[in-house]
Amino acid sequence: MGKNKLAHFEENKSFPHFFQPSYEELVKGFIWKGNWRSGFFKNNNALVIEVGCGKGEYTVGLAKKYPDKNFIGIDIKGARMWRGARTAIDENLKNVAFIRLKIELLMFCFSNCEVDEIWITFPDPQPRKKEIRKRLTSPRFLEIYHNILNPPGHVHLKTDNLDFYSYSLEQVKSNRFKLIYHTNDLYHSDFSGDAPIIQTHYEKIFLNEGIPIKYIQFSMKQAAINTSEPTEGSFFQKVYEVARMIPYGRVTSYGSIAAFLGSKGSARMVGWAMNASHSALDSIPAHRVVNRNGMLTGKHHFGGPDIMKQLLESEGINILDNKIIDFPKYFWDPMTEL
């Protein structure tokens, strides 16, 4: 380990706004959990966190812009976080803190509904199959955010990775969260919020390489059911009603939905409905509908050839050669379940 890293680790220990709780401390009860506003920041201002904060560019940059809000950067890389912590000291920012922590332990540091906003800035896209559940927008992390966010708190995601962007967008839709804005090229979009005004170290590298920056903003409040969906008469609407009831970690088939709706010969039309659902304003878990053999025949309609597979794998369903392994185990039949 380099001398600078060692020096940064040591200096982090001296910062009054830098916390490195042990697991034992977390289990026993972290001192500021549920008490960040009145206890640490000594105000009642909104609380914003940046997960996977790196050097803390957003934590510090937004703290400067919004002195009437509190900001906390969270990462496991202490040497990187030193930069943001040091800047906060040098610029006398009283509305900034940092926690060296694994993101999956957030619930030990924040009470239910204690956080008002979350930023996820250029996390590791975790491209390999066995790493999908480590993505910071996978179901287990979304559940954590949902618990600590004060509804209708917003989540912001910035990434350079198209596959991760598409995966995250489908997660938002399949969970029926309220999608506020998304673009696969932020700096050539009409977005005028805070996302473009701060650029992280890695973001500048990506931009210099000509890689477009992707951005998603959503609320974890579930979207209201939209009645102006793309339809073929009322049949599409009925298909969507059934699809929304498919449980997490289960799948059904086009033919099973058609049979449940009293139209056994309309499996192909159910497939058309699933394809059209990607342009619906509210969210339909189309990835949970496959063909009668468990094949992912609709995978090309998900913004990337592997997104449907990744969404199913993130729900614990194993896929091999675009086919669900042990399909009967996960099969959900609306005829018997509803």
Catalytic residue among 124, 190, 326, 333: 124
**What is the distance of C-alpha 281 from the center of its chain?**
18
* Exposure b/e, 247-274, CB count within 10 A at least 16 = b: eeebbbbbbbbbbbbeeeebbebbbbbb
Q: Is there a contact between 65 and 194 (Cβ–Cβ < 8 Å)?
A: yes
Q: Residue 143: CB partners within 8 Å, gap ≥ 6?
A: none
The percent of the chain in helix, strand and coil, each rounded to the nearest 5, is 45, 20, 35
Tokens 């992707």 sit at which residue?
214
DSSP H or E run through 181: strand 177-183
Please give the structure tokens belonging to residue 253: 């088939």
Say how far apart CA 52 and CA 294 lie, in whole Å.
36
Residue 75 annotated among the catalytic residues of the structure: no
Q: What does the DSSP 8-state code read for residue 108?
A: G
Nearest to 157 by CA among 215, 75, 204: 215
| C-alpha neighbours within 13 Å on the C-beta side of residue 230 | 14
Residues known to be catalytic: 124
